[in-house]
Amino acid sequence: MCGITGILNLTEPNIISVDVISKMSGHLNHRGPNESGLYIDDWIGIAQTRLSIIDLTGGTQPIHNEDKTLWIVFNGEIYNYIELKNSLIKLGHKFYTNTDTEIILHLYEEKQENCLHMLNGQFAFTIWDSINRKIFIARDRVGKKPLYYTVCGDQFIFASEIKAIFANNKVKRELDAKGIDQVFTFWTTLPGRTSFKDIKELPAGSYLSITGNNVIVKQYWDFDFALPNELTNCNSDEITSYSKELLLDSIGIRLRADVPVGCYLSGGLDSSGITTFVKNNFNNQLNTFGIRFEDVDFDEGQYQKEMVSKLHVEHKEILATNKNIGELVPEVIWHTEIPLLRLSPVPLYMLSELVNQSGFRVVLTGEGADEIFGGYNIFRETLIRSFWAKYPNSTMRPRLLDKLYPYIFKDKRSKATLNSFFKIGIDQPATPFFSHLIRWNNTARIKRFFSENITSSTQDYDTLLELKDNLPEKFNKWDALSKAQYLEMKIFMSDYLLSSQGDRVAMAHSLEIRMPYLDYRLIEFMGKVPSYLKIRGLNEKFILKKIYKDVLPQSILNRPKHPYRAPIKNSLLNKNLQYVDYYLSDEKLKSYNLFNHSMVKILKDKLTKSENSSEFDNMALVGILTTQILNDRFIENFDAHMIKPSIFDIIFDRRSTTHYDYHSKKQNYS
């Protein structure tokens, strides 16, 4: 688990500065504090900062093949590396390390881009083929590990995080109005785009290759759902049994590490299940980590305590107070590299620090269960609204919504207004975005705060059309739940949950998170399970609950769903945080020219004065504030925070002329 970066000359060999690469690599030190390395020749420089997890002493990167013609820098883990290694040895490949990294290289020699279908893991890597002058870059299927790139003049520049690309002074830094527009609709950018102009994301499940002028970006994997004739014939017991087998294997291979592995434990079904399976089947001396909230409305402590006492695990927790959530927002934005509309990533940032300080580099988490097993309220909402859409004037059908939101619907007034909210678009059940459109439109109302400058840059731009154009061919043939699952996984999960709320806030404190529910075998299998078995009636995660029915207490199996969230208004506006006033001041709003300053002033006053604040106003506050922070940290004052360049532990210098332009801790190889 690491950071990777590099520069490729596109048209002719030219001097690549080690100083520049070490500065870029230095911006990834938090991702890999243990060691760093560089390969450089006349065409390319690739560097890696390493968080050592497998083969702690022998796995220094870059790693090469037998004749040193292929070189790799790698961020991630390949969980099935032991099995792959055995088959490669049989084919005659020689290994000089015990790492999973070296497996990829030899598998690439055998299969080229088809190697990606054989890898089970989370990864982003770059292979340099020095003979054919070809660069090959790939990301894992669902986008657990990040990869960004840009073309600047004659050079192709890439990195695990955008800040490393910006550390190259040649790269222009500018916010992308279209990217920001997308964030204020989907909570994230769509695959391929970022918040910054001309900085691209390599989409999840894709690879990029460059040979000469030939640039290829291709998707090799996507979420898929079975059409009626492709569904599994298994009954619910058989499905439960097979998916349990897959889940146990998925957990087992994710415990492969030369360092101890812990678990996040929130007290919800998903993480309680994983923790129980680890404890019962693999590791009796288990350490777990959880978040507690000062604000009781957000706290799940009672369920965590119950699981801890049941399992006898060694549990540690952080207390997320409104004060420290508020204070940490600017640091978190430095890591997310994208504006936020909620503050949920902040407590996770605090938690990864606790895990790091406790001596752990790896934890398993419950991420992905809601998406693949059908757990979110938006899925049940979609089923109810589809049912309602058949008789839009029915007064009985919308009453099913009471079951989803019993606390809100207890209040008759809220019920009447919420019913009208869910009725929007009920006459168009066939529209591709039936499940998500009311929420996206609600978020997009915040765009009214945009300055004229931003509005005019996006006035002819239709972000929904861009999304529609990129949907898979089969999409319109899927049922309502499958469509909703696809949109949720493709956009919100891949580019928000796994990034802002996943990799970024974990790697900020050098912590690798591993997600057993997101093993591609489990995703592919659940894609073949009929929707009515994923959500039985309105019983969400029906199969997952069956998997856990004998090992989890009823109180966890049947507990009301508690979305993980963090308080906004009380974290940002009640503690007189100086930075909030600074970024929302007339002066800063006018000078950045991203938002209408007088509207923001009214919003802030409204939130400060009112006791109860609406979801919309809270979301607007976070969105505006974090965009201001992003603009400050990445555009206006990028170099204000001194970050030490990497001093590489190892350098493979294959340039045709000698350049004495670096310092290395150890030996240099040529």
Partner 1 sequence: MDYIKELKEFVINNFMFGQGDSLENDTDFFDKGIIDSTGTLELVSFIEEKYNISVLDNELIKENLSSLTKVDEYIKKKLASESDNH
Instruction: Work out which of 599, 638, 654, 669 binds partner 1, going by CB under 8 A.
Output: 599
Distance CA 140, CA 220 (A): 10
Q: Does 453 bind partner 1 (CB under 8 A)?
A: no
Q: Does 615 bind partner 1 (CB under 8 A)?
A: yes
Tell me, what DSSP letter sits at residue 472? -
229 vs 612, beta carbon nearer partner 1: 612
422 vs 638, beta carbon nearer partner 1: 422
Distance CA 181, CA 199 (A): 16
Q: Does 602 bind partner 1 (CB under 8 A)?
A: yes
Contact between 56 and 258 under an 8 Å Cβ cutoff? The reply is yes
Q: Does 445 bind partner 1 (CB under 8 A)?
A: yes
155 vs 443, beta carbon nearer partner 1: 443
Q: Where are the beta strands (DSSP E) in 160-257?
A: 200-201, 206-211, 214-219
Q: Does 616 bind partner 1 (CB under 8 A)?
A: yes
Q: Does 431 bind partner 1 (CB under 8 A)?
A: no
Distance CA 396, CA 238 (A): 35
Segment lying near partner 1 (by CB under 8 A), choices 318-326, 380-388, 406-414, 637-645: 406-414
Instruction: Work out which of 165, 584, 600, 625 binds partner 1, going by CB under 8 A.
Output: 600
- Give, as ranges, the residues between 557 and 596 that touch partner 1 (CB under 8 A): 596
The residue count for binding partner 1 (CB under 8 A) is: 24
Distance CA 95, CA 208 (A): 26
Q: Does 606 bind partner 1 (CB under 8 A)?
A: yes
Task: Write down the least CB distance from residue 413 to partner 1, Å.
Answer: 6
Q: How far is CA 43 from the centre of its chain?
A: 32
What character string, x for contact with partner 1 (CB under 8 A) and - otherwise, covers 100-139?
Answer: ----------------------------------------
11 vs 614, beta carbon nearer partner 1: 614
Residue with the two structure tokens 């952080």: 318
- Give, as ranges, the residues between 410 and 429 that touch partner 1 (CB under 8 A): 412-414, 416-418, 420-421, 424
Q: Does 449 bind partner 1 (CB under 8 A)?
A: yes
Output b/e per residue, 76-99; b: 16+ Cβ within 10 A. bbbbbbeebbeebeeeebebebbb
Q: Does 448 bind partner 1 (CB under 8 A)?
A: yes
**What is the number of alpha carbons within 13 Å of residue 583 lying toward its C-beta?**
23
Q: In 10 A of CB 309, how many CB atoms? A: 10
Q: Which residues contact 611 (CB under 8 A, 6 or more apart)?
A: none
Distance CA 526, CA 18 (A): 47
10 vs 444, beta carbon nearer partner 1: 444
Terminal Cα distance for the chain, rounded: 26
Segment lying near partner 1 (by CB under 8 A), choices 104-112, 224-232, 318-326, 600-608: 600-608
Q: In 10 A of CB 458, how many CB atoms? A: 19
Segment lying near partner 1 (by CB under 8 A), choices 128-136, 203-211, 237-245, 437-445: 437-445
Which residues form the interface with partner 1 (CB under 8 A)?
Answer: 412-414, 416-418, 420-421, 424, 441-442, 445, 448-449, 596, 598-600, 602-603, 606, 614-616
